[in-house]
A and B are shown apart, each in its own frame.
Chain A
């Protein structure tokens, strides 16, 4: 494992994600490939969470398509730094579309977690919040501690966006808590919960 500052970050990803989806109400959630989807599952598997087992670089764009289709529902994308780095162009595409109901949150542990905790660019000079701001996101923030997280939670859930928060979380290996793996099932349960049973007939 790469050693570095991320091993000492105070925020723990499982606790952060549990707070992000607590009392989720009508929230629609997309989980990026890898640990963010396992974190969401640890917080409670839910039909209106779409956890990705692949499609690396696509989480934010899935959130955009969903947010445009359902403009009255809040959409939250929870992904990782490696996944976000693979699709940075999506930040510009989202900023141009400017969906007020979309929030993208990156759990930034500065590591590729699924492949052995190798350093990502955010372990070096790359700042994803600055990238999002440069792409044109109107609401951007960096979170390093619990107080900042608590202040950001209502903004993530309700502030007109698109909203982007980069949350520095501790680099740590955690037990896998896996969602269902069958993509058709994940899609159908989401559509049935959101659109009604006729959507999957």
Chain B
């Protein structure tokens, strides 16, 4: 089920975030981010901020940057739709915005309600002015996050990494 098992890409993301000095991790839980979230929660220098909706994270990370801290926003693809107006905050003010998206609604998805945002998350991010990198291979994930983060904090601007559903595993309710 998880074709990327040979490469521990959640650990690679964690290492990339640590190297970027990310201190605030904003998230709406997703099964695909379970290992990464556990690693972040165990890190003393990292503040975990559970959100009620993904758009809160964009505002949170704007405030963090005003205060001199870096952060990251984790979500599944359905969360992109919840963020659209709030992306304007990052774009107009040129806040850095690093977003890591685990994809739903791709090959093997059992829930048709995930399909619209699964198909459109990347394009919506681009329309909102966020640079998008999609990764389909486990060994690409860590380098993609490192590169997206460097660009996001240096420019500063929005950068998202979309992690293919085949790396996350396909959820089902019947095992």
- B66 and A90 within 8 A (CB): no
Cβ–Cβ < 8 Å partners of A67 in chain B: 63, 67
Question: Is A65 in the interface zone, CB < 8 Å from B?
Answer: yes
Contact A62 B62, CB 8 Å, known A55-B88, A90-B52 = yes
- A30 and B63 within 8 A (CB): yes
- B60 and A62 within 8 A (CB): yes
- A65 and B59 within 8 A (CB): yes
- A93 and B56 within 8 A (CB): yes
Question: Is A57 in the interface zone, CB < 8 Å from B?
Answer: yes
Alpha-carbon distance between A30 and B86 when the two chains are bound, in angstroms: 16
Alpha-carbon distance between A186 and B69 when the two chains are bound, in angstroms: 17
Question: Is B49 in the interface zone, CB < 8 Å from A?
Answer: yes
- B59 and A62 within 8 A (CB): yes
Interface footprint category on B: 20 to 34
Question: Is A117 in the interface zone, CB < 8 Å from B?
Answer: no
- A90 and B92 within 8 A (CB): no
| Complex interface residues of chain A between 149 and 201 (CB less than 8 A to chain B) | 183-184, 186-187, 190-191, 194-195, 199
For residue B156, which residue of chain A has the nearest CB? A187
| Complex interface residues of chain A between 64 and 99 (CB less than 8 A to chain B) | 64-70, 87, 89-90, 92-93, 96-97
Contact A55 B86, CB 8 Å, known A93-B49, A183-B93, A184-B94 = yes
CB contacts between A and B, total, < 8 Å: 117
Question: Is B89 in the interface zone, CB < 8 Å from A?
Answer: yes
Cβ–Cβ < 8 Å partners of B57 in chain A: 61
- B66 and A187 within 8 A (CB): yes
Cβ–Cβ < 8 Å partners of B69 in chain A: 65, 68-69
| Complex interface residues of chain A between 38 and 63 (CB less than 8 A to chain B) | 50, 52-63
Interface centre among B61, B64, B94, by most chain A C-beta atoms within 10 angstroms, is B64
Cβ–Cβ < 8 Å partners of A63 in chain B: 63
- A55 and B68 within 8 A (CB): no
- A89 and B56 within 8 A (CB): yes
Cβ–Cβ < 8 Å partners of A92 in chain B: 52
